[in-house]
Chains A and B, each alone.
Chain A
Amino acid sequence: MKRWWIRDLLLFILGIGVLIGLQWALQRIPINGIAYYYRILILIGINIILAVSLNIINGHAGQFSMGHAGFMAIGAYASAFLTYYYAGPYIEKLPEGTNRWILQNVFFLGALLVGGLAAAVAGYLVGLPSLRLRGDYLAIVTLGFGEIIRVLILNVEKLGAARGLSGVPAWGNFFWVFLFAWITVLVSMRLVNSSVGRAFLAVREDEIAAEAMGVDTTHYKVQAFVIGSFFAGIAGALFGHYLAYLNPSMFQFTKSFEVIAMVVLGGMGSISGSILAAVLLTFLPEGLRMIKEYIPTSSDPRMVIYSIMLIVLMLTRPQGLLGRRELWEVLARRKDSVKKETRDEDAGKLDRGDGPAVQG
């Protein structure tokens, strides 16, 4: 009980070791076109962070936010501001032979955290007034805030305005992206299995009942919003430092919709569902590229197919791929489903105690 952190710390160090090893291997695999798959992999990692963090707000706390791209933008620009104007030039000026590599990564970690914190502060300021609203109204207000953030950046000369900020240090790599994807998933999973996460879920299920149980609903809604925004900011920072370029048009509301599509498709409230959908929806448009070779059109048909696939999926599984459950829960249910499902139904029908109990 005393050394609660030892096991976690060891696992964390082990994880970091594995990620460093993978990073090392990825840069050395001698396959033609590996760079392309590397890029997809990075985008998948960033989208996992975005989807899982939005799932905390939309899926767990049940507050339909449409401003995720805005918080992503804040994280991206806040961190890029630091590295573009300060950390990057500082490292460039270091004499040859000094340990640039370590310093660069320390600075980058700092910049990522600053990006996350800036987004979290913005999330707090936006969340406090707007989380009084519900449903459609909250969606519209957060959509508006997301756009306001983007338009503000569009008008700041120091951040490159409409030209964008090119020459952001390209420090983002597989290691950092998947380290933070892992942290995001871990934080999200541990939260949902704690009193904090249970409070989120209670707010989603029934706000009036949650209040009656002593849950300060405003506090938890804002908390969910701040945590979600923090990781959106981290994702933005990683995005900017991977592409080495930032432009406000990257953070239009369509970006928010992309992330919402992932959360909804995966199943609102399911962490593994969000991950699955993030992987699927990042990979799908790439996988569909080959179709262009078979369908001779002047335009690119893959977005049409992508949309149709989304529509079909939502029509056949409106609750998302996994519903509200996690992947392992769904698999466990599959296993002993037949027996238990029928028993549950019978119990429901008999309304308990009438007639002989049906037991398998």
Chain B
Amino acid sequence: MSATEQSAPLLEASNVTIRFGGLTAVSDFNLTIRPNELVGLIGPNGAGKTTIFNMLTGVYKPTEGSIVVGGVATGAFKPYQITKLGVARTFQNIRLFKELTVLDNVKIGGHIHYVYSGASAVLHTTDFKKAEVIAEKEAMTLLEIFGLEHRAGDYARNLPYGDQRRLEIARALAARPKLLLLDEPAAGLNTGETIALMAKIHEIRDRFGLAILLIEHNMELVMGICERIFVVSYGKTIAHGTPDQIQDDPVVIEAYLGEPVPEAGS
């Protein structure tokens, strides 16, 4: 851990606050992610985890505070510009391009790397051919990693739920991110699938040299793979530390289970 602490942070959110009308959804949130880290973001329902994700990816603009990605302040950036800085994400409620093929979904994920002019596309220039060959190859490699290569030609909506979750991660990876944000990747998966997913998250982190920030309710998964964990509740960071520290933190236990009642103490 000491090695990563010295390298420049990939992402730095300082004193980030967002208000929707009178409601403060997230207040004074701080987060630093360094290269190759696996960080968890947990908290009860409605704590503001997805709102934090939406701010990090530019969907919402923070009311106060700053977010810096790779040394660039992203205050006025649109989501696609932040993606270009090397941040890719998945969604809590799967947002695949349902009426497109599995392969095209992944190719769109890598869109920023295969940009050429409309004229090149129409004239089938060398630019176009080169980019398309790379797009096809990269997309198939990613599909193979997630065991989806045999479904490349199917429409995304026809995939079973677990495959759709995997496809969303493959699509995000196609952007070749330095930081991957996973919003409840294990939601709706059964135990076997969750264990396989944990291994897969480790594998892609090592293979692509990524940092990963994930939101998850499945404590087994979070505690099992994250090196650092942030706990938020009612928009405030209530704890921050290693899995062991978090598990024993009374504030966290209270946020999840409520205040201890004396006679139920054993």
Contacts and interface: CB of A to CB of B under 8 A. Distances in A.
Interface of A: 1-2, 4-5, 8, 186-187, 190-191, 193-199, 201-202, 205-206, 208-217, 223, 227, 324, 344, 347-348, 350-353
Q: 3 closest pairs, A vs B, by CB?
A: A194-B121, A214-B83, A214-B112
B175 to A, nearest CB: 6
B29 interface: no
A212 B162 contact: no
**Max chain B CB contacts within 10 Å: which of A186, A196, A324?**
A196
Contacts of B100: 198, 201-202, 205
Contact of B126 (A4, A8, A186, A199): A4
Contacts of A324: 99
Contacts of A197: 121
A201 B107 contact: no
B108 A202 contact: yes
Nearest to A201: B100
16 contacts: A4-B124, A186-B122, A187-B122, A194-B121, A196-B118, A205-B97, A209-B91, A211-B79, A213-B80, A214-B80, A214-B111, A216-B78, A324-B99, A351-B160, A352-B160, A352-B163
A195 B158 contact: no
B80 A211 contact: yes
A217 B162 contact: no
Nearest to B128: A194
Nearest to B104: A198
A1 B118 CA distance: 19
B154 interface: yes
A100 to B, nearest CB: 32
Interface residues of B, number: 50
A212 B97 contact: no
A199 B161 CA distance: 24
A348 B160 contact: yes
A300 B96 CA distance: 49
Contact of A199 (B57, B78, B111, B171): B111
Contact of B108 (A190, A215, A348, A352): A215
B156 to A, nearest CB: 9
B88 interface: yes
A201 B126 CA distance: 23
Nearest to A7: B124
B95 A195 contact: no
A84 B77 CA distance: 49
A195 B135 contact: yes
Given A1-B126, A4-B124, A205-B100, A198 B158 contact: no
Nearest to A345: B158
Contact of A209 (B97, B107, B129): B97
Given A186-B122, A208-B59, A212-B57, A194 B129 contact: no
A42 to B, nearest CB: 25
Contacts of A215: 80, 108, 111
A301 B20 CA distance: 58
A213 B120 CA distance: 22
Interface string B125-140: 1101101100100000
Contact of B109 (A1, A193, A208, A213): A213
A213 B175 CA distance: 7
B98 A223 contact: no
A201 B97 contact: yes
B253 interface: no
A190 B123 CA distance: 8
A198 B118 contact: no
A210 B175 CA distance: 12
B114 interface: yes
A227 B122 CA distance: 12
Contacts of A198: 100, 104, 107-108, 111
Contacts of A4: 123-126, 129
Contacts of B8: none
Nearest to B126: A4
B107 to A, nearest CB: 6
Interface in B126-176: 126, 128-129, 131-132, 135, 154, 158, 160-163, 171-172, 174-175
B89 interface: yes
A212 B132 contact: no
Contact of A5 (B95, B96, B97, B123): B123
Contacts of B95: 206, 208-209, 212
Contact of B118 (A5, A213, A223): A223
A249 B217 CA distance: 62
A193 B118 CA distance: 11
Contacts of B83: 211-214
Nearest to A188: B122
Contacts of B91: 209, 212
A187 B118 CA distance: 9
B208 interface: no
B256 interface: no
B84 interface: yes
A205 B98 contact: yes
A205 B99 contact: yes
A252 B89 CA distance: 46
B115 interface: yes
Given A195-B111, A206-B95, A212-B79, A201 B104 contact: yes
Contacts of B89: 212
A191 B108 CA distance: 14
A151 B148 CA distance: 55
Contacts of B132: 194-195
Contacts of B79: 208, 211-212
A190 B99 contact: no
